[in-house]
Amino acid sequence: MAQPPVEFSPIKLGLPMGVMESEVLSLMNAADLRVDRLTPHYAIVDDPRISDGIFSEPRDLWTMVAQGELDAALVPFDDVAEEMRKRPVIKQIHIEPLSGELLFIANQKSWQERSQEMTDLLMLLRGAIEARGRVLLVLNVAEENLQEVLKLLPALRSPTVSPLAEPHLFSVMSVVPRDEVNRLIPELLRVGATDIIELPISKLIRSGGKD
């Protein structure tokens, strides 16, 4: 029997205007959270977990989240962030680092009441960030050369190795840094890898919950 669709309690999400605006929009797009901007300050986000996207200056986003006008916001990790973290309003705000330049901040009450939506959104955004600069390599290799190939491949845990229909032949998949690919491919070919495919990665989800 098909499972009923999950019902969400959508969040109102703040998005920064200014220096980090294009970076945040690029991240949202990479996470498949497409932002359709209708006015300079208002947008619709293509995801059922988000009711509205509100653009404002980062300092205003901190205040709006603290007061509950916004459930959450993406803000730069900058001098404004450092200043706001020293103020009493910080008691009303839950902070999650996204990257060295970006924070996810949430109203404490909203963080508790909409924990599923918040966790899902963080997972998607972090997955898009993790995928940056990485690609998926898929290749075939004979059993006799398998160990030499595996020695060359970096991976989050270990490469995925699957036997193929043809005896003594394996398929290997590994997530690798993009800037290492051009060095790796010739080395892999020299130790016996064949049919190498390089694929882009849009998201890299390490687990189903918060880190």
What confidence tens digit (pLDDT) does each residue in 95-130 have? 999 988 999 999 999 999 999 999 999 999 999 999
The Cα–Cα gap between 144 and 205 comes to: 32
Q: How many CB atoms lie within 10 A of CB 180?
A: 17
At residue 46, the 3 state secondary structure works out as: coil
- Does 192 or 208 have the greater pLDDT score? 192
Alpha carbon distances (Å) from 197 to 137, 163, 171, 187 = 6, 17, 11, 14
Mean pLDDT of 56-69: 95
The closest of 39, 206, 91 to 105, measured between CA atoms, is 91
pLDDT band at 84 (very low <50, low <70, confident <90, very high): confident
Hey, which bits of the chain come out as E strands? 11-16, 35-37, 42-45, 50-56, 72-76, 93-97, 102-107, 134-142, 160-163, 169-177, 194-200
Residue appearing with tokens 């619709």: 44
Cβ partners under 8 Å of residue 180, min gap 6: 154
In this predicted structure, what is the pLDDT of residue 193?
A: 97
Q: What percentage of residues in the chain have a pLDDT greater than 90?
A: 80
